[in-house]
Amino acid sequence: MIDALAYAVVALAGVAVIWGIVTAIANKPPGKAQLLYAAGVEAVTLVQSIIAVAKIIGGFRPAELATTIGYLIGIVILIPIAWMWANVERNRFSGIVLSVAALAVLAMTLRLLMLWIPAG
Amino acid sequence: MTDLQAEPTGSAGRRTSTGAGRVLIAVYGIFALAATARASVQLPTRYDEAPLAYLLSAVAGLIYIVATITLARDTRASRRVALIAIIIELIGVVTVGTLSVVFPEAFPRATVWSLYGIGYGFVPLVLPILGLAWLWHTRPDAPSPESVAS
């Protein structure tokens, strides 16, 4: 984990959460820009997980190794699944589905920051 | 996902898997993933530390999986299974939440339901209530002629 990158993911995901709520209030399905933005958040999240896994392979041992790896894998599948789920039926709730996924990415990144302490 | 035009519950207005139901299913899916992943890490590696807590995480994960699938399948039969699963979920979170307050020593390790799901922003406590409300909201009011026997 790189702290600056993690906080970037938190901020980017936070914007995605708000964006989904805004389009839902406006009673619109997520637009192209919003979907592209979600893809961008996913890309940064994926980079974060790849870097973290590389560090683990490189010898870093977090205290909760299995949990950390579970989070690093789980966090990258949320937005793609939400993306597909939101596109099957496009309405205001599609945006909320993307918000829910982004909120989970945000929470999991914060949790990963807490988990990222070397094993004693 | 390809049978959106089909009407397994008899009326388009009574589907559990459309509209706000999609958000509910998404949240259930995330909790299915979270609780199951947690249990599958904890049960094989550290069962002895807190067997009750880890078994409860596994049970919670299973219930979330059942609720996710049955709400998404959206048939008459799956509604019934969803109702049972969500009632068990509500009983589970209230019971485990209360026990973890009264007998904290029985829960040395957290589960999704400990302290009413405080570790997950109390979503585990609100989720079954929303689930029951959604099943009520989408209930088939009057028995409608069924083209497909369920």
Q: pLDDT of A47-66, one tens digit each?
A: 999 999 999 999 999 988 98
pLDDT in tens, A2-51: 999 999 999 999 999 999 999 999 999 999 999 999 999 999 999 999 99
Q: What six digits make up the tokens of B33?
A: 């993933």
* Domain spans in chain B, listed from the N-terminal domain onward: 15-137
Using alpha carbons, select from B54, B33, B66, B131 the residue that is nearest to residue A74: B33
CB < 8 Å & 24+ apart, contacts of A66-72: A66/B41, A66/B45, A67/A115, A67/B38, A67/B41, A68/A112, A68/A115, A68/A116, A70/B37, A70/B38, A70/B41, A71/A108, A71/A111, A71/A112, A71/A115, A72/A112
Distance (Å, whole) CA B124 – CA B121: 8
Q: How far is CA B43 from CA B49, B55, B119, in A?
A: 10, 7, 19
pLDDT bracket for residue B5 (50, 70, 90): very low
DSSP string, B104-136: GGG-SS--TTGGGGGGGTTHHHHHHHHHHHHHH
- CA distance to partner chain B, nearest, from residue A91 (Å): 7
Contacts of residue B110, Cβ cutoff 8 Å, sequence gap at least 6:
B53, B119
Q: Residue A118, SS3?
A: strand
Residues of chain A contacting B117 with CB distance shorter than 8 Å: none
* B23, B122, B130: best to mutate for the A interface, most A CBs within 10 A: B23
Q: What is the structure's pLDDT at B122?
A: 94
Distance (Å, whole) CA B128 – CA B82: 10
Residue of A nearest to B120 (CA): A107
Pairwise CB contact (< 8 Å): A96 & B23: yes
Q: What is the structure's pLDDT at B144?
A: 54
Pairwise CB contact (< 8 Å): B30 & A88: no
Contact B107, B100 (CB under 8 A): yes
Q: What is the structure's pLDDT at B130?
A: 97
The secondary structure of residue A113, as a DSSP letter, is H
Total-model pTM: 0.86
Distance (Å, whole) CA B74 – CA B17: 6
Pairwise CB contact (< 8 Å): A100 & B23: yes
- CA distance to partner chain B, nearest, from residue A62 (Å): 15
Which range among A33-37, B38-42, B76-80 shows the weakest confidence by mean pLDDT? B38-42
In chain B, which among 31-70 make CB contacts under 8 A with chain A?
33-34, 37-38, 41, 45
pLDDT above 90 for B119: no
Q: What is the structure's pLDDT at B39?
A: 87
Residues of chain B contacting A88 with CB distance shorter than 8 Å: 1, 4
CA A118 to chain centre: 23
